[in-house]
Structure formats: C-alpha cells, structure tokens
Amino acid sequence: MLVTQQPVFRKFWHPVMPLSQLATGTPQPFTLLGEAIVLWLGADGEPRALKDRCCHRTAKLSKGRCIDGALQCGYHGWTYDGTGRVIRIPQYDEGREIPAGYCTPAYRCQAAYGYAWVALEEPLAPIPEMPEFGAPGWRTIFQFHEVWATSPVRALENSFDNSHFSFVHRATFGVAAQPKPSRYELVEQDGGSGGFYAETVIAATNPPAFHRVSGSSEPITQRHMRNAYYLPFARRLDIEYPSGVRHVILNGFTPIDDGHIQLCQWLFRNDTEADCPQQLLIDFDHVITREDKDILESTDPDAVVDLRRRGVEFSMDSDRPGILIRKQLMELLARHGEAEVHR
Ligand code: FES
Ligand code: FE
C-alpha cells in the first residue's frame, strides 16, 4: 500500500513533533503523507500548521520566522495567521486592504501528550486516550521521534508480532530457545473507530541490566502484554511485570511518504526516577528499537494490505494481528470508496 495515495489517511490525527521543538521559536517543516507542512506556536502557545508554501512566490514558509504568534515568510515578509490568511504585507501602505484570497491552506493542529498532532482533513476519530499522561503516580518519558525507512503497516504489524522476539531480539529480551510464540487473545473493538485489543503473556529474559526496568531480579520474567490498535497507525502497549511495574508505550507511526515514517514513542511508567532512571529506560528501549529498525528497513515498505492479492507475501498463524490490521484498513478504505493502491 502506498499511503500517500490513500486519501482517507488525511482524515486522521498524526503526531508530528514535540512541542519542545516548536518552543525554539523558529517555524519547523515536516512532511505528512507527502504534504509539506510548517508548524509553529501561536500567541496562545498552541501549535498551528499551514501548507509550507507562501502564496506570493511559493517560498517555503518554514524558512521564515515567528513574529508575535504569526508566521512571516522569509522572502518578502508576507505574514500569516493560523488560519492561513495573509494579515500583513510589509510593502503595502498603512491601512491598505489585503485581498481575502491571499492565503495558504491551514490544517487542523492540536497539542496532545506534549506533541503537536495534525490532521490534513476533518478527522474521523479522536486522538487515542492515554489516561496515564499527567496522572498521579505516573511519569511520562519522551523516548523517540525519529525517521525510519519503512511504512506504517510494517511498523504496526511488527508491534503486534510476537514471533520475531526470538530472532530480532535474541540479543536483548528474546528467548532464543523458545521460537514458538504465545497465543494472543484478540478482541475487535466495536463501533466506527475500529481497532482491536490483544492480550498475551510472554517469557522474557531478565539479565541484571534489566532488573530496574522490570522491578524484579528473576533470570526470566513474565510480561503481561495488553496491546491495543488504533486505526490507522497508532498502538498502545501496556506491559505489566509480576513486580507490578507497568511500562506503557504509545506509538504513533506517522506516515511521511511512501517509504518513510516518523516513529513517535512515549513511555509511561508507574515507578519513580529513583526506582529506574529515565535515561536507563530510554537506553533500554533504544537498543530494542534499533533491532526492529534494522530489520524493518530491509522489508519492502509497500506492504500487501489487500490479502486477495495472492502470492506476494505468505503468512503463518501468529500473523493474525497483522491480518486483522489489514482487514480493518481494507474496511476503512472501502467505507471511503478506496481500493488499495500499490506499485
Ligand atoms: Fe513569500 Fe514573497 S514568496 S513573501
Ligand atoms: Fe520488536
């Protein structure tokens, strides 16, 4: 599937960048679904997003500057508000009216969990709820936002695939001697927003370096995994260890273009900095995500989604979550009159 060729994905919220990156006061470029956009913070501190193209002579607005909450083009200084209207042309005499048509497209943009999220068109579903964010007893750790040369379907499927641990993660938590995956209990969510919930318990190696992460010192521990899929490209993974420590990850696999995603990863923990330092948790998940990144970047980003296309990729029993993701994506496309677009 070529994500930029499927217009329905424009109708969802995607996490684009941390608000801290916008707080620098310079406009920031991003490519979302092949669309060049620019983000900045308005005077109220809320993020804004416009097409990254000045309506005067097409210069990239991300090369401009933020002035009193407005965005000024770096070429001739035309200045935009958050709705995309030109509100100032410095070359005009005072009081001269700016034609109403002088504007560039604006996109829906909102702050959630410390990130700016953008929907290119009216969103069909809300941003997934993360009750742990800001809740008493929980801390939020911004782990990653980085570009991977893969597609959201590949990254999503991988995040529900418990057959790769013994191979991709054999150097970290995968138990090489146990390649047979534990079975997932899959529950499809009712209602228009779709998604599903998948639960399983897996064995995980627990060397001394992981003791503070798992809150236990057993050589092999258990991970009770509660994994939820949110259409189209987000998932929440709640890992509970026997110690009671919970390691809750939110991933947004933001589609940049047909060969790249931005991996956004938040971590929520119910322990304290003294129990397990933030940097240790970032380093721990960094090593594991490098293992996934390396193998995913070797796959074809144009993943088969319509399984009626036989013979392109073959499946096994443990691919059920990935098959369910495909089924739900196909239903979404069908509801919006689309078929899978692929090479
Ligand atoms: Fe932007 Fe001229 S190109 S002001
Ligand atoms: Fe993995």
DSSP 158-184: HHT-TTSHHHHTTTTT--TT--SPPPP
Ligand nearest to the CA of 60: 1
Instruction: Identify whether residues 241 and 297 lie together within a single domain.
Output: yes
Please identify, among 119, 152, 181, the residue that sits at the C-terminal boundary of a domain: 119
Pocket test for ligand 1, best of 55, 60, 73 (most atoms within 8 A of CB): 73
Instruction: Identify whether residues 157 and 105 lie together within a single domain.
Output: no
Instruction: Identify whether residues 185 and 94 lie together within a single domain.
Output: no
What pLDDT does 124 receive?
Answer: 96
Closest C-alpha to ligand 1, atom 4: 76
| Ligand 1 atom closest to Cα of residue 76 | 4
Average pLDDT over residues 91-116: 97
Half-sphere exposure of 291 (CA within 13 A, CB side): 18
Q: Has residue 131 been placed in a domain?
A: no
Tokens of residue 72, six digits: 């000024």
Tokens of residue 327, six digits: 């089924």
Please identify, among 87, 119, 151, the residue that sits at the C-terminal boundary of a domain: 119
Tens-digit pLDDT profile for residues 1-42? 999 999 999 999 999 999 999 999 999 999 999 999 999 999
- Tell me how far the alpha carbon of residue 130 lies from the centroid of ligand 2, in angstroms: 22
Pocket test for ligand 1, best of 53, 71, 72, 78 (most atoms within 8 A of CB): 78
Q: Is the CB of 107 under 6 A from ligand 1?
A: no
Instruction: Identify whether residues 113 and 143 lie together within a single domain.
Output: no
- Residue 227 Cα to chain centre, angstroms: 15
The pLDDT of residue 319 is above 90: yes
The percent helix, strand, coil of the chain (3-state, each to 5) is 20, 30, 45
- Residue 86 Cα to chain centre, angstroms: 31
Residue 275, domain extent: 139-335
The pLDDT of residue 174 is above 80: no
What pLDDT does 102 receive?
Answer: 98
Domain total of the chain: 2
Q: Is the CB of 57 under 6 A from ligand 1?
A: yes
Q: Has residue 198 been placed in a domain?
A: yes
Q: Is the CB of 92 under 6 A from ligand 1?
A: no
Tens-digit pLDDT profile for residues 291-307? 999 999 999 999 999 99
- Tell me how far the alpha carbon of residue 57 lies from the centroid of ligand 2, in angstroms: 46
Q: Is the CB of 89 under 6 A from ligand 1?
A: no
| Ligand 1 atom closest to Cα of residue 73 | 1
Instruction: Identify whether residues 108 and 212 lie together within a single domain.
Output: no
Instruction: Identify whether residues 154 and 240 lie together within a single domain.
Output: yes
Phi first, then psi: give them for residue 213, nearest 5 degrees. Answer: -70, -45
CATH of the domain at 146: 3.90.380.10
Q: Has residue 173 been placed in a domain?
A: yes
The pLDDT of residue 192 is above 80: no
Confidence of residue 203 (pLDDT cuts 50, 70, 90): confident
Percent of the chain exceeding pLDDT 70 equals 99
Q: Has residue 341 been placed in a domain?
A: no
Task: Determine the Cα–Cα distance for residues 200 and 180; give it in Å rounded to an integer.
Answer: 13
Percent of the chain exceeding pLDDT 90 equals 87
- Tell me how far the alpha carbon of residue 11 lies from the centroid of ligand 2, in angstroms: 28
Q: Has residue 342 been placed in a domain?
A: no
| Ligand 1 atom closest to Cα of residue 57 | 3
- Tell me how far the alpha carbon of residue 90 lies from the centroid of ligand 1, in angstroms: 11
Q: Is the CB of 75 under 6 A from ligand 1?
A: yes
Tens-digit pLDDT profile for residues 217-261? 999 999 999 999 999 999 999 999 999 999 999 999 999 999 999
| Ligand 1 atom closest to Cα of residue 77 | 4
What pLDDT does 191 receive?
Answer: 55
Q: Has residue 106 been placed in a domain?
A: yes
Task: Determine the Cα–Cα distance for residues 110 and 127; give it in Å rounded to an integer.
Answer: 10
Measured distance between the N- and C-terminal CA atoms of the chain, rounded to whole angstroms: 8
Please identify, among 119, 150, 166, the residue that sits at the C-terminal boundary of a domain: 119
Closest C-alpha to ligand 1, atom 2: 76
Q: Has residue 128 been placed in a domain?
A: no
Average pLDDT over residues 143-147: 94
What pLDDT does 184 receive?
Answer: 80
Q: What region, left, alpha or beta, does residue 215 occupy, with left being phi > 0 and alpha being psi -120 to 50 degrees?
A: left
Task: Determine the Cα–Cα distance for residues 40 and 23; give it in Å rounded to an integer.
Answer: 8
Write down the mean pLDDT value for the chain.
95
Task: Determine the Cα–Cα distance for residues 295 and 314; give it in Å rounded to an integer.
Answer: 18
Q: Has residue 331 been placed in a domain?
A: yes
| Cis? peptide before 301, omega within 30° of 0 | no
Instruction: Identify whether residues 11 and 150 lie together within a single domain.
Output: no
Q: Which one, of 58, 69, 54, 66, lies nearest residue 103 by Cα?
A: 54
Average pLDDT over residues 40-55: 97
Instruction: Identify whether residues 46 and 169 lie together within a single domain.
Output: no
Confidence of residue 282 (pLDDT cuts 50, 70, 90): very high
Instruction: Identify whether residues 185 and 314 lie together within a single domain.
Output: yes
Instruction: Identify whether residues 109 and 159 lie together within a single domain.
Output: no
Instruction: Identify whether residues 49 and 147 lie together within a single domain.
Output: no
Instruction: Identify whether residues 104 and 155 lie together within a single domain.
Output: no
